[in-house]
Amino acid sequence: MQLAANGLAIEVDDQGPPGAVPLLLIMGLGMQLTAWPEELVRLLVARGFRVIRFDNRDAGLSQGFDTGGTPNLAWALLRFMLHLPVPAPYTLSDMADDAFAVLDALGITQAHVCGASMGGMVAQHMTASRPERVTRLTLIMTSSGSRRLPQASAKVRTTLLDRRGAGAHDVDSAVARLVRLFTVIGSPAYRPDPAELEARLAAMVRRAWRPSGAVRQLIAVAADGDRTPILARITSPTHIVHGSEDPLVPVAAAHDLHARIAGSTLEIIPGMGHDLPAALWLQLAQAIARA
């Protein structure tokens, strides 16, 4: 369903009893609400949650910002590397406001918030800015953005910046690009069946394919910089989950968050990369419910 939230049309999926504990799931860069697998949602509903997924602005079926054109990614990343301000069409704080507005539209005043990757960055802003609205926080494969942390591997950076198929309008080219990416960042101990991975990514592309939106989101991440100063304002019970083999956001980022968020707990999953493999859905559901 589409909701009016923060002046935008946001696509939302709402499952579970209306009176259950609200759990807001926020997905990462360029990903859609369907990247939270339906099977994982069912496991969370079974644990007493009302699970709310939504497409971030510029992703999936939510409102985009294509009228502003596609930013120059290379120029933005150069400014980031030179420690210069990065102009962005919107900020992660704006995206946090979107998430709060989704809750408002559903009549929810407080929620357990769970963010993955970029979604975890948005969740940090939510919890630091309005702690009274976030009862519990789960951060999955995400980072404070500190420049002192190890960065993505060279292979990952090369794959991310590979624009082959990025603007393609045919499903096959887009899926081939995503397969290359997920093969590089996925969990080495939990490799999916290639045919299943391709089918899942094809379904995602057919639902929506927004490569320009992903670029704008990436620039918003670069513009956000180091969130270390706001972490001290996070007082909600926080559980941090990370894969030991994450090549996109190295596991040092999880230890950094754990050290900086008072009272947080940390769970490192051996063999997990930067994805949500089927073999770990039960463990992930238990981790989210634990926070």
| CATH number belonging to the domain at 2-290, selected among 3.30.365.10, 3.10.20.90, 3.40.50.1820, 3.30.559.10 | 3.40.50.1820
**Helix, strand, or coil here: 238?**
strand
Residue with tokens 């093969």: 183
pLDDT for res 235: 96
- Tell me what pLDDT residue 159 has: 84
- What pLDDT does residue 150 have? 95
* Tens place of pLDDT per residue across the chain (291 aa): 999 999 999 999 999 999 999 999 999 999 999 999 999 999 999 999 999 999 999 999 999 999 877 777 778 777 877 778 888 899 999 999 999 999 999 999 999 999 999 999 999 999 999 999 999 999 999 999 999 999 998 888 888 777 665 555 688 989 999 999 999 999 999 999 999 999 999 999 999 999 999 999 999 999 999 999 999 999 999 999 999 999 999 999 999 999 999 999 999 999 999 999 999 999 999 999 986
Listed by start position, the domains of the chain span 2-290
Bridge partner list, 49: 21
pLDDT for 291: 66
Which residue, among 288, 284, 261, has the nearest Cα to 127 in the 3D structure? 261
CB 139 within 8 A of CB 124: yes
Helices and strands of the chain, counted as H and E runs? 11, 8
Is residue 194 packed enough to be buried (19+ CB in 10 Å), middle (13-18) or exposed (0-12)? exposed
Tell me how far apart the alpha carbons of residues 255 and 271 are, in angstroms, rounded to a whole number: 17
* Residue 268, pLDDT score: 98
pLDDT of residue 96: 98
For position 164, what pLDDT does the model report? Answer: 62
Rounded distance, CA 61 to CA 41, Å? 19
d(CA 43, CA 26): 17
pTM (whole model) above 0.85: yes
